[in-house]
Amino acid sequence: MKEEIIFLDRDGVINRNPAAKYVTCLEEFKFIPGAIKAIGRLSAAGYKIFVISNQQGVGKGLYTRKTLDEITQWMLRRIERGGGKIAGVYYCTHTELENCPCRKPKTGLIKKAMGGAEKDLKETFFIGDTERDIKTGQGAGCKTILVLCGKTRDSSMEGWGVRPDYIFKDLKKAVDFVLTQQLSITKKNRIKK
């Protein structure tokens, strides 16, 4: 059976974007309503879920790697309590000026998540809330979903150099769609046999 993989950005997809530019402490991390349940549904459907996120606030000295790790562990515990399982969380903590190969929109974090192995990701979804996320997903060969609950608030995308494959209000609606797609592919495969 083919392994189902999905990539999620963090800020603006799983948790609300903070009023300031970064989540610098645990108190600033607020789950978007429905996100925990949506991740639980993906896990129950057999998806291997990876979080792929730029966190240059560490590189800028706004918060420490230790604080980022504490926020991540708390997030993972809450998701697990809600029935979800995250296979891996991959952060780029470098600043934009450092031009790191793992900083989105480059695909280094996806390559790390895949253990460096070349994988055909054309049936894999990358869900994010920015143009950078869509570029990352497309660069890795994924289908892309833009959610409008983060930095991007409408579907105009004026001035963007890319277009997502799909647009949904939030992670819950995106997961509804992904699971419907999976169900229809499974039915087609049963018919072929």
- Comparing C-alpha atoms, which of 17, 44, 12, 1 is closest to residue 127? 12
Active site residue 133: no
Q: Is 9 tagged catalytic?
A: yes
* Spatial separation of the C-alpha atoms in residues 43 and 102, rounded to whole Å: 26
Q: Measured between alpha carbons, how far is 61 from 44 in angstroms, rounded to an integer?
A: 38
In the set 9, 129, 133, 170, the catalytic residue is 9
- Distance, CA of 51 to CA of 8 (rounded, Å): 5
Active-site residue identified among 11, 129, 133, 170: 11
Separation CA 32–CA 143 (nearest Å): 23
| Residues whose CB is less than 8 angstroms from the CB of residue 88 and which lie 6 or more positions away in sequence, other chains included | 50, 51, 113
Contact 107, 54 (CB under 8 A): no
Amino acid in position 57: G
**What are the CA-CA distances from residue 3 to residues 113, 166, 185 (Å)?**
14, 22, 13
Cα separation, 75 vs 72, in Å, equals 5
Tell me the catalytic residues.
9, 11
